[in-house]
Chains A and B, each alone.
Chain A
């Protein structure tokens, strides 16, 4: 998990 979001893709 990155910051608050789990999504690193656009």
Chain B
């Protein structure tokens, strides 16, 4: 464990909690892409099946349980409890265009052709594109609530910090995982234009609105 990975995990946890609290307190999921949240629940489910097969540390297990619990709670709020506030007309990204290629790639490019490893690889590839429905929805509505931009900032920051963690681990431990690194670079690149808008607008107190 290193400071970049720990900060990354805490940034990820912050993002997940910010979103869940925003939806729960405002009793509304307006502007939130339910499709992206379903994809994240799928990412955690397929990646953390090793909760059943191996124990790494209390930290590892606790964080996995929290991530899975919060992501399912978020999906439940969006599609069940607060369904009336879900903006389905703007959440129209075709997720099958993500899941099918990612599923195929996981079979073709992986470290080991075993079920757990294929699912882990699928989860890594899926996570790198899971935010696309949310970014697409913001481009369609042309704006995002400020709290939603903070959620996206911490979510994007977490994988950027993981990239530094992988540089650190390569240098000090000789560890590197090409699949996670390539997917992590793609994932972070997808946030770049959002990061630009976040820094130039939201941090200056303006609302995030895209030229419609």
Residues of chain A at the chain B interface (Cβ within 8 Å): 2-10
Q: Is the interface of A mostly helix, strand, loop or mixed?
A: loop
Beyond A8-B56, A9-B165: 11 further Cβ-contacts under 8 Å?
A2-B56, A3-B56, A4-B50, A5-B50, A5-B56, A6-B117, A8-B60, A9-B5, A9-B162, A10-B9, A10-B67
CA of A3 to CA of B180 in the docked complex: distance in angstroms? 20
CA of A9 to CA of B183 in the docked complex: distance in angstroms? 14
Chain B residues within an 8 Å CB radius of A2: 54, 56
CA of A8 to CA of B162 in the docked complex: distance in angstroms? 13
A7 & B120 in contact (Cβ 8 Å cutoff): yes
CB distance from B10 to the nearest CB of A (A): 11
| A9/B180 contact (C-beta < 8 A), A2-B56, A4-B54, A4-B116 known | yes
A5 & B116 in contact (Cβ 8 Å cutoff): yes
Chain A residues within an 8 Å CB radius of B54: 2-5
Of the four ranges (under 10, 10 to 19, 20 to 34, 35 or more), the interface on chain B belongs to 20 to 34
B12 & A7 in contact (Cβ 8 Å cutoff): no
CA of A5 to CA of B53 in the docked complex: distance in angstroms? 8
**In the complex, residue of chain A having the shortest beta-carbon distance to the beta carbon of B12:** A10
Chain B, residues 15-54, CB within 8 Å of chain A (1/0): the string is 0000000000000000000000000000000000010011
Chain B residues within an 8 Å CB radius of A10: 9, 12, 60, 63-64, 67
**In the complex, residue of chain A having the shortest beta-carbon distance to the beta carbon of B112:** A6
CA of A9 to CA of B200 in the docked complex: distance in angstroms? 32
CA of A2 to CA of B55 in the docked complex: distance in angstroms? 8
CA of A3 to CA of B177 in the docked complex: distance in angstroms? 18
Chain B residues within an 8 Å CB radius of A6: 111-112, 117
Closest 7 CB pairs of A and B: A3-B54, A4-B53, A5-B50, A4-B54, A5-B54, A8-B56, A10-B63
Most chain B Cβ neighbours within 10 Å, of A4, A8, A10: A10
